[in-house]
A = this chain, B = another copy of it.
């Protein structure tokens, strides 16, 4: 074991334990604690239906500070009425009493099945157990404890220099189904030892999310419990980042990189996925058009099954762009599979099927649409749709 993910930065300890919420006995409770009162920011689901633990965090993070994050998997603590709000408050105050902070400084996350109450005895025993096993090497255990249908745990970190000081940003994420802009059934916690104000942290997180977590799609469903939370403890002792400028730019680009690495891991681990698909919209007239097109193509089950089947069926890609609601000129549109031009100015181009097959058999496939209509570039990451998606989701709740 070594420092990784959320415990990569100085001043963070974490734990991941099994408390019995998951029926299979696997880890289901993660605790991350900052040694110092940290600046905090969050981005939350846009779903009209919101989980109780999520609502707690949305409300409390407005203060811009936090000491800890508690996340359970196996039960979403959603749609159970006022009792769910009480359970969330209880969970936060129980953790706060151990850590020695205010309940409002404890952010919460719950992910799993909707419509069932949390077993608070198990949760409390889990928090006890996690608290006593907090460690600077605990990042990877925490990352394991937040998994639901994930097939691998997801964490990353990156170190930079700001004002002569070494600054680290680390993060973990979970989620594989229901991932779609904005914020699907994913939870990510990012930590940093950077010294940065809550205001600038919030600004950086929103910008990073718009290029990472809000640019992935697995099945187009967005969940009621999705969130990204960032805590900045300040132990790196860099000159405080209090406004835009070169230091902020470095921090933002690193945060974006960390977020993109995690986001791509989520797309790659899409339920039943066999490959990562990157869809690019080049030379769009407007950001809105690019967004509509990328979403439609990334969500299309016909596109996703074709790529699963290694079928260079660009007609489905073009069709999805066509019904996206975006304004573009079909007669000016080019489509590429990898580097292979398959459609020029809206018309089929004869291409080497063997070459296409080779590109499609790779673990990462890039699809590019060029609209020759402006200067906007955007992209989205998604995955293919396989038999296993159906298998996983046809029997999840039971």
Integer count of this chain's copies in the complex: 2
Question: Which A residues between 277 and 315 are near B, CB-CB below 8 angstroms?
Answer: 299-302, 305-306, 308-309, 311-315
Question: Which A residues between 146 and 197 are near B, CB-CB below 8 angstroms?
Answer: 177-178
> A47 on the interface (CB 8 Å rule)?
yes
> A246 on the interface (CB 8 Å rule)?
no
Q: Which of B114, B309, B389, B393 contacts A393 (CB 8 A)?
A: B309
* Contact stretch, chosen from A1-9, A137-145, A219-227, A237-245: A219-227
* Contact stretch, chosen from A19-27, A74-82, A89-97, A372-380: A74-82
Residues of chain B contacted by A348 (CB below 8 angstroms): 79-80, 114-116
Residue from A76, A313, A328, A394 with most neighbouring chain B CB atoms (10 Å): A394
Residues of chain B contacted by A219 (CB below 8 angstroms): 300-302
Residues of chain B contacted by A393 (CB below 8 angstroms): 301-302, 305-306, 309
Residues of chain B contacted by A178 (CB below 8 angstroms): 302, 319
Which applies to chain A's interface (DSSP): helix, strand, loop or mixed? loop
Q: Which of B79, B114, B385 contacts A390 (CB 8 A)?
A: B385
Given the contacts A305-B389, A323-B48, A390-B308, A115 and B224 also touching, CB distance less than 8 Å: no
Which residue of chain B has the shortest Cβ distance to A307 in the bound complex? Answer: B394
Complex-state Cα separation, A302 to B113, whole angstroms: 13
> A391 on the interface (CB 8 Å rule)?
yes
Which residue of chain B has the shortest Cβ distance to A327 in the bound complex? Answer: B48
Complex-state Cα separation, A318 to B393, whole angstroms: 16
Report yes or no: A49 in contact with B221, Cβ–Cβ below 8 A: no
User: Could you list 6 examples of A-B contacts with CB < 8 Å?
Assistant: A48-B326, A78-B315, A115-B314, A178-B302, A315-B397, A385-B390
Known contacts A48-B326, A220-B300, A311-B397; 14 further A-B pairs (Cβ under 8 A): A47-B319, A48-B324, A50-B322, A78-B315, A114-B348, A115-B315, A115-B343, A219-B302, A220-B220, A220-B299, A221-B301, A312-B397, A313-B396, A387-B391
